[in-house]
């Protein structure tokens, strides 16, 4: 459960989320919760029928549901919305925007900021931060405790680095980005060449370029390019524990779920969706709006707009047919053995 300082009426919630409020005009909601822990001031939502019983039995003061589900909850305060999850997102975002505490501008005495660094207005630099020569940090940026920013980096307006983020030299991050704890941006790409029985390191002298409105989850890593940049387009969202290899180019508004791994020189179009633990072998491209299912292994180029499953990743419908046949293999093999035995007899 998350409680907020300000309470909202049903009409106010309708104004924020859209949809249609039905219920008690005196409703005052000030928290969001899972059904099991909801109280009279809580808002809950459901879209899937499997959650209905939990919602029906909950003490929630307001339920967000689809219009055709209204008759399932007689006597309850309802917000009828075609996309309940989206409505809940808008409601929580509104509450957070009013109550989020942004650290006060200023540089903590323990931070080490090189004299050549160019700082915009209203910047917060927390305890123990180290900011190298020639960096440029634009107005409204927040750099929380113990971040390390190498020489010649750039950070855009209102971007926030959570504690213990590391930027190697020459890394560029756009505006309105969120970089979570433990992220490392710009470490050397993994490149070696075998010469006379010895693995020789290939120098990695490129950088990382990240667009605006990008979010990168905790403990994810983005390696620098070998010669040119590794790039991430505007609006892309990256989950925790994701590895992006050198010279990858990720388009706009992509989704990379936890434990995705992209080998070097993978190219993603715009609006690509990679589910958890999906991986790409490198030096290949995935087209716009393509979706790769969980644990999918991409070994060749994928066309735009497709849904792909499995390793190697193939069309999802073909993969389903293969799975259906695999389930029948014991039965098929049994028939085959019986036929062999019959012939032997």
Give domain limits for the chain: 2-99, 165-312, 319-345
Work out the pLDDT band at 334, boundaries 50, 70, 90. confident
Instruction: Assign 3-class secondary structure to 89-150.
Output: HHHHHHHHHHHCCCCCCEECCCCEECCCCEECCCCEECCCCEECCCCEECCCCEECCCCEEC
CATH architecture observed for domain 2-99: 3-Layer(aba) Sandwich (3.40)
Task: Tell me the CATH number for domain 165-312.
Answer: 2.160.10.10
Please name which of 35, 38, 34, 41 lies closest in space to residue 4, comparing C-alpha atoms: 41
Phi/psi at 116 (5° precision) = -85, -5
Q: Which CA distances in Å does 74 have to 22, 291, 312?
A: 11, 39, 49
Instruction: Work out the number of other CB atoms within 10 angstroms of the CB of residue 88.
Output: 20
Catalytic residue among 124, 180, 213, 246: 246
Q: Is 335 a catalytic residue?
A: no
pLDDT in the model for residue 309:
97
pLDDT in the model for residue 345:
63
For residue range 176-190, what is the model confidence (pLDDT) as tens digits?
999 999 999 999 999
For residue range 267-315, what is the model confidence (pLDDT) as tens digits?
999 999 999 999 999 899 999 999 999 999 999 999 999 999 999 999 9
For residue range 42-60, what is the model confidence (pLDDT) as tens digits?
999 998 888 899 999 999 9
Instruction: Kindly tell me if the per-residue pLDDT of 343 is higher than 80.
Output: no
Classify burial at 306, counting beta carbons within 10 Å of its beta carbon; exposed 0-12, middle 13-18, buried 19 or more: middle
232 in Cβ contact with 209 (< 8 Å): yes
Please name which of 107, 73, 82 lies closest in space to residue 17, comparing C-alpha atoms: 82
pLDDT in the model for residue 336:
82
pLDDT in the model for residue 48:
84
Q: Hey, is 66 helix, strand or coil?
A: coil
- Mean pLDDT of all residues belonging to the chain: 96
pLDDT in the model for residue 339:
83
Instruction: Kindly tell me if the per-residue pLDDT of 218 is higher than 80.
Output: yes
For residue range 239-266, what is the model confidence (pLDDT) as tens digits?
999 999 999 999 999 999 999 999 999 9
């Amino acid at each position: 459960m998350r409680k907020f300082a300000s309470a909202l009426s049903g009409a106010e919630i309708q104004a924020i989320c859209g949809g249609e409020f039905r219920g008690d005009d005196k409703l005052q909601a000030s928290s969001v919760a899972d059904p099991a822990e909801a109280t009279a001031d809580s808002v809950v939502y459901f879209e899937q029928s499997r959650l209905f019983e939990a919602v029906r039995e909950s003490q929630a003061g307001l339920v967000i549901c689809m219009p055709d589900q209204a008759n399932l909850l007689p006597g309850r305060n309802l917000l009828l919305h075609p996309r309940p999850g989206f409505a809940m997102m808008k409601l929580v975002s509104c509450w957070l925007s009013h109550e989020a505490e942004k650290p006060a501008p200023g540089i903590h005495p323990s931070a080490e900021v090189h004299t050549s660094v160019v700082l915009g207005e209203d910047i917060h630099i927390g305890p123990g931060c180290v900011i190298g020569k020639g960096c440029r940090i634009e107005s409204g940026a927040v750099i929380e405790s113990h971040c390390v920013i190498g020489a010649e980096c750039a950070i855009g307006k209102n971007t926030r680095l959570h504690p213990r983020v590391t930027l190697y030299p020459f890394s560029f991050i756009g505006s309105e980005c969120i970089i979570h704890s433990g992220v490392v941006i710009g470490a050397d790409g993994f490149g070696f060449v075998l010469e006379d029985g010895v693995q020789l390191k290939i120098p990695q002298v490129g950088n990382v370029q990240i667009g605006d409105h990008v979010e990168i989850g905790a403990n994810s890593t983005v390696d620098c390019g070998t010669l040119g940049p590794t790039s991430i387009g505007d609006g892309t969202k990256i989950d925790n524990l994701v590895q992006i290899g050198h010279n990858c180019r990720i388009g706009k508004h992509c989704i990379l779920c936890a434990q995705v791994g992209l080998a070097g020189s993978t190219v993603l179009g715009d609006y690509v969706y990679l589910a958890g633990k999906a991986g790409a072998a490198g030096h290949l491209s995935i087209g716009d709006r393509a979706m790769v299912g969980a644990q999918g292994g991409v070994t060749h180029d994928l066309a735009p707009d497709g849904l792909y499953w499995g390793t190697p990743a193939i069309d999802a419908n073909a993969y389903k047919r293969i799975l259906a046949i695999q389930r029948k293999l014991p039965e098929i093999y049994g028939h085959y053995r019986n036929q062999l035995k019959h012939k032997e007899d």
